[in-house]
Amino acid sequence: MSHNLEGKGRDLLSKLSRTIRSGAETLMQETKELTKVGKLKVEVLSLENERAKKFEEIGRLAHTLYKEGGTIEQLHEHFEAIDEIEAKIDAKNKEIEKAPAEEVQKAESVSTPQDEAVSRMYCTQCGALASEDDKFCSKCGNQLR
């Protein structure tokens, strides 16, 4: 991983996060009363949102490269940006794991803001976001129902 590419990825990431920041800030404000674990989960949520957008972007770029002829190297900075996001998600999930069990339970009993809470749940094993329709966690494979 070269520092140059890392820097580029970070630039892109900061641009990207600016575009979603307003939404994330609203979410943070509404969840002020949450526990530390709850806040971490909201942060993980917004990072996963960022990652999903990044994947979409890569999909579009890959298609453009396919059509116009390019090299996969052109996507590297995007892959690295995703690595960075995943490192942040891992770090926050580890913090959540370290938290006392009763705090985690408290956080799980607090629902996310109404309009966001449609079909949102978390894996009890790794804390990854899962949809209510999911039978298994997409991250660790834990059985959810």
Chain residues that interact with Zn ion, rule: CB under 5 A: 123, 125-126, 128, 137, 139-140, 142
Instruction: Kindly state the smallest distance separating residue 126's Cβ from Zn ion, in Å.
Output: 3
DSSP helix/strand/coil, 106? helix
Comparing CB distances to Zn ion, the nearer of 27 and 123 is 123
Residue closer to Zn ion (CB basis): 81 or 96: 96
Q: How many Cβ atoms are within 10 Å of 127's Cβ, its own excluded?
A: 25
Measured from the CB of residue 60, what is the shortest distance to Zn ion in angstroms?
28
Q: Which two tokens stand for residue 115?
A: 């309009």
Closest CB to Zn ion among residues 27, 129? 129
**Angle separating helix axes 36-68 and 76-98, nearest 10 degrees:** 160
Closest CB 136 distance from Zn ion, rounded Å: 8
Q: Is the dihedral of CA 73, 10, 17, 97 positive or negative?
A: positive
Burial of 107 (0-12, 13-18, 19+ CB in 10 A): buried
Q: Which is nearer to Zn ion, 70 or 141 (CB)?
A: 141
CB of 140: closest distance to Zn ion in angstroms?
Answer: 3
